[in-house]
């Protein structure tokens, strides 16, 4: 086993996706459950990039380990890029995924399919304690469906139909989503970097 790499996300389903995407690398992947409880950092950045970096730096410094974090979200063209960096708290500070999805469907009520274009964005940040920082980016284009479909994934997955597909991420299994998703793309790039370090 190589150096420890902490997946710095308190979102259980997102952390599981990130861990799966780090499989097979010569790093010993751990998650936040392996460390003492710590309040999540406030996401004060104005961009995905700033927030990804802020999270990776926070956990890396707190536990003195290398850390990988991502900041991600959904940008809907008809809503001028909203919910964007506020994706997790679109319907309020403690909003559930289904509350966020309901709010999004209501906001798009008057929009036809071809007007419902959107993209998921993922910025992944890697930090070593007090040292190296590396950032990567991934995105996937698609449409927001008229109603939720599928039990899989998390967040807006039941509403997002990636371009060239007829099913939402919520209807896909984890591997199929990984192959298409913003997080999959960012993490494939991060893997190349992590392999070069090991």
Binding-site ranges for ligand IMP (CB under 6 A): 11, 14, 43, 71-74, 87-88, 100, 120, 153-157, 169, 181, 183
Which residue has tokens 């070069």? 196
Cβ closest to ligand IMP, residue 1 vs residue 46: 46
> Minimum Å distance from CB 80 to ligand IMP?
17
- Within 67-181, where are the H helices? 97-107, 174-180
Task: Give the single-character DSSP code of 182.
Answer: H
What are the residues facing 69 on neighbouring strands?
125
Cβ closest to ligand IMP, residue 45 vs residue 197: 45
> Minimum Å distance from CB 71 to ligand IMP?
4
**Interacting residues of 40 by C-beta distance below 8 A, sequence separation 6+:** 10
* 71 annotated active-site: yes
Q: Out of 70, 71, 97, 157, which one is annotated catalytic?
A: 71
Between CA 187 and CA 191 the distance in angstroms is 6
Q: The tokens of 149 are what? A: 């479909």
Cβ closest to ligand IMP, residue 27 vs residue 156: 156
Q: Catalytic residue positions?
A: 71
């Amino acid at each position: 086993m190589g150096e420890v790499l902490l997946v710095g996300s308190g979102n259980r389903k997102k952390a599981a996706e990130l861990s799966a995407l780090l499989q097979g690398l010569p790093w010993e992947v751990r998650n936040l459950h392996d460390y003492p409880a710590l309040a999540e950092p406030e996401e004060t950045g104005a961009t995905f990039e700033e927030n990804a970096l802020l999270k990776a730096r926070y956990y890396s410094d707190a536990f003195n380990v290398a850390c990988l974090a991502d900041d991600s979200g959904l940008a809907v063209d008809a809503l001028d890029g909203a919910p964007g960096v506020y994706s997790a708290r679109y319907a309020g500070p403690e909003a559930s995924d289904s509350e966020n999805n309901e709010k999004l469907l209501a906001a798009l009520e008057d929009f036809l399919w071809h007007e419902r274009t959107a993209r998921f964005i993922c910025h992944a940040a890697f930090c070593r304690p007090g040292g190296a920082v590396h950032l990567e980016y991934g995105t996937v284009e698609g449409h927001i469906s008229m109603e939720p479909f599928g039990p899989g994934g998390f967040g807006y997955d039941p509403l997002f139909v990636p371009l060239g597909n007829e099913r939402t991420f919520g209807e896909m299994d984890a591997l199929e989503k990984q192959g298409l998703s913003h997080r999959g793309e960012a993490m494939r790039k991060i893997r190349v970097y992590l392999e070069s370090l090991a």
